[in-house]
Amino acid sequence: MAELVVALDFDTAEEAYRLAEKVRGVVPWVKVGLELFVAEGPQIVKKFKDMGFRVFLDLKLYDIPNTVKGAVQSAFQSGADLLTIHLSGGRRMCEAAVEVSKSHGESMKIFGVSVLTSFAEGEVPGYEGKLSDLVELLAKGAAQWGMHGIVCSGHEVEKIKAMAPQLKCLTPGIRLENNAAADDQRRIMTPYNAVLLGSDYLVVGRPITKAQDPKSAAEAINAQIQEALAKRGA
């Protein structure tokens, strides 16, 4: 079952709350990223939980294993349901994060960031191969290190699911049309195509938050999700 996550990329709690209220009951998840978390602190997570949302805390942690372990523990205490760390931090860092999750009954899932969807081919420093190959390599690590899921573009989901079906795929860079303005996102995909390929979570920001009617925009995305699930027979 694929689920919609609205990215609340605002710098004040008031703006985030207003948008969340507009899509309440239509969108099950909200994403709290660096901009909002740094501005408002961990109490913002509790507020959204009290509103009935599940919270994806997108901090993309990357540090020495012990520091990441402590940060994951703090994220759990905030009430987050899902947290991101960078897979490029390596096995020891990732396993330290998963260890914290397991100590709390895995009630907060740990997802590994592969290659940011803002990267196009040839833009990753020091890497000249195909981005899909790099994502696949990192996905193998995620599967071996006990991660619950991986953050990847819709273009890489099918390969990941074939290689490691236990990994959930969380997909940013979602746009309502394939030829939509991508802003700083480079590897984009429609909700329908992403779910058809196997995405489990769709992270959508501006197509909802900048829409004249955010609720209607979210409902349109949910309709594409349901259409794709029906096509898959899910």
Kind of pairing, strands 201-204 and 109-113? unpaired
DSSP 8-state code for residue 212: S
Return d(Cα 229, Cα 159) in angstroms, integer. 18
Q: Which residues contact 4 (CB under 8 A, 6 or more apart)?
A: 27, 28, 29, 191, 201, 202, 204, 218, 221, 222, 225
Catalytic residue among 31, 46, 47, 60: 60
Told to judge if 60 belongs to the known catalytic residues of this protein, a careful annotator would answer yes
Q: Residue 7: how many CA atoms within 13 Å on its side-chain side? A: 20
H helices, E strands: number in the chain: 10, 8
Give CA 10 to chain center in angstroms. Answer: 16
Active site residues: 60
